[in-house]
Amino acid sequence: MPPNVLLILTDQQRTDTLGFRGQAPCRTPHVDRLAAEGISFDRAICTAPLCSPSRASIFSAQYPHQVDMMTNHNTLRVPPHLTDALKTRGYYTAYAGKVHFQPEAKPAEIFGSKEEQEARYRLEGFQFKPENADRVIEHWFDRVAGESISEYVAWCEANGLPNGFPYADPRLRTHREPAMSIPQTAVMDMDVQDTIDGWTTQHALRFFEERPHEQPFFLVCSYVGPHPPFKVPEPYYSMYDPADIPEPPNFHDGPNKPRANDTSFYHQLWLDHGDDWAAWQKSMAVYWGYCTLIDDQVGMLLNALEAEGVLDDTLVIFASDHGEMLGSHGLWHKMMPYEEALRVPLVMRLPGTIPAGVPSDAVTSLIDIAPTILSVCGADAPPEYVGRDLSPAFADGAEFQADAYRFAEHRPLGEWHATVEFRLVVDDRYKYVWNQGDLNELYDLQTDPYELDNLIDRPEHAATRSRLRARLAQWMRDTDDPLREAFEKEVS
């Protein structure tokens, strides 16, 4: 029988939260175990530092502009190649938790009336989606649960619990429009298994228990956390001491940066919270606690597989859709081309196929997950896939691609966002960013991991700039990027 597949996704988790990387005191023993017994792709990036575009790439193996998913308000309209291929090979497929590649109805008590939600969509420049519109997820998986915020809110009410959706707390939303989450923290007064992340784990465990045992399974467990707001129960809320968290070298941005860094809505939220690191230490501490909370949920999944004796027959993949700025470069949230938002965890374990303890510096992306799953499961990837099969790196982690480049993109959410569209390319050392109508960026990530020194105008880096710019142009042509002509005109 081909291997089972368990894909665990978190939301907005930075790579420096993984304990085995030794970059922070944050403890993640269960993900550490996956890395110790498998492979960690330490140079993985997302295709777009925003939920829906990134998740669309995970499941379609194409870039967001190729599948018309540049925002959080579109619907993924591509055939379910991944799950169809697995079903053809006899797989039972199930999805528990956050989907976010389709619109969903939002609870009025949290997000306002239909009219208020429609006004917010207009502010963000999108058409309001009616309730339960375009629910593509049921066409992909045999069973789905836990993907709806409304469903969780109703579950809390039915069980006599307070609303455990963190965004429901108005103290954790900005007074600005739109009312997005802010870096403030709060204790959640409920048991961890009653939180939305614990609720997601229970759905996943139920699917695992109720599955047809004669079939291999493909199970996705997708968490809301550690996406802000940072409202978690004890002991996680107080698990890490804020005083122990040093100021990152790039908390204040460096010189020679794009104008958009100062105009960004998320820079305004950074200023609102405080331009002194002391204001951010508690935010980081609770963020770490949230990551450990999620890791404990991962442990419950691994324990269930191990108790039934199928863990070693299961390809376990742990990843996050994008990172979190958390004050770096004077920014909050995501949707920026910097490492804190762009780099993602990507860890895989399958004894007998993946040797234990392999660190990989291969240049990789979340777009590579689906082709790798199909390869390991003995299925062919469709010609539409742009992502690459990572299994050649399993043996020793070494770079296996002659053309080792990966790409990412972003579209502002509206005029209020006050940023610009960007396209970027990374190789094994450098990053080049084209910021449409703004200052472009070039970083040597080997000597400047905090991206403080923009090399874009340095004569000694002209050859690197030209090489990366040419490769980005080729990618834009190959993928029919709608900004290709604008890029070529602007940089010519």
pLDDT band at 139 (very low <50, low <70, confident <90, very high): confident
Instruction: For the beta carbon of residue 133, count every other beta carbon within 10 angstroms.
Output: 12
Q: Compare 163 and 122 and report the one with higher pLDDT.
A: 163
* Cβ contact 59:98 at 8 Å: no
pLDDT band at 414 (very low <50, low <70, confident <90, very high): confident
Q: Is the dihedral of CA 190, 192, 194, 200 positive or negative?
A: positive
> Residue 126's pLDDT band (boundaries 50, 70, 90)?
low
Q: Nearest to residue 49, comparing CAs of 259, 284, 342?
A: 342
| pLDDT tens per residue, range 379-388 | 999 999 999 9
Give the per-residue pLDDT at 492. Answer: 77
Secondary element (H or E) of residue 210? helix 196-210
Of all residues in the chain, the percent with pLDDT exceeding 70 is 93
Residue-level length of the chain: 492
Question: What CA–CA distances, in Å, run from 120 to 73, 117, 304, 446?
Answer: 11, 5, 42, 41
Average pLDDT over residues 123-141: 64
Buried b (16+ CB within 10 A) or exposed e, 338-368: bbbbbbbbbbbbbeeebeeebebebbbbbbb
Mean pLDDT of 83-112: 84
Please report the pLDDT score of residue 109 as a whole number: 67
Beta-strand ranges (E) seen in 206-263 are 217-222, 230-232
Alpha-carbon gap, residue 193 to 190, rounded angstroms: 8
CA–centroid distance for 18 within its chain: 14
pLDDT band at residue 299 under the 50/70/90 scheme: very high
As a whole number, the mean pLDDT across the chain is 93
Domain boundaries, the chain: 4-393
Each residue of 174-223: pLDDT tens digit? 999 888 999 999 999 999 999 999 999 999 999 999 999 999 999 999 99
Beta carbons of 366 and 57 less than 8 angstroms apart: yes
Counting beta carbons within 10 angstroms of the beta carbon of residue 298, is it exposed (0 to 12), middle (13 to 18) or buried (19 or more)? buried
Q: What is the mean pLDDT of residues 248-253?
A: 96
Cα–Cα distance, 134 to 127 (Å, whole number)? 13
Query: What CATH number is given for 4-393 in this structure?
Result: 3.40.720.10
Nearest to 64 by CA among 346, 487, 364, 410: 410
DSSP class per residue in 95-154: EEE---SS--PPPHHHH--HHHHHHHHHHTT-PPPPTTTT-THHHH-SEEES--HHHHHH
pLDDT value, residue 40: 98
DSSP structure class, residue 227: S
Contact 215, 313 (CB under 8 A): no
Under the banding of pLDDT at 50, 70 and 90, the label for residue 130 is low
Q: What phi and psi values does residue 7 have, to the nearest 5 degrees?
A: -105, 115
Q: Say yes or no to pLDDT of 401 above 80.
A: yes
Q: Sheet holding 346-349: strands in order across?
A: 143-145, 92-97, 217-222, 4-10, 314-320, 346-349, 39-45, 358-365
In sequence order, the 6+-apart residues with CB closer than 8 A to the CB of 51 are 11, 12, 72, 100, 321, 322
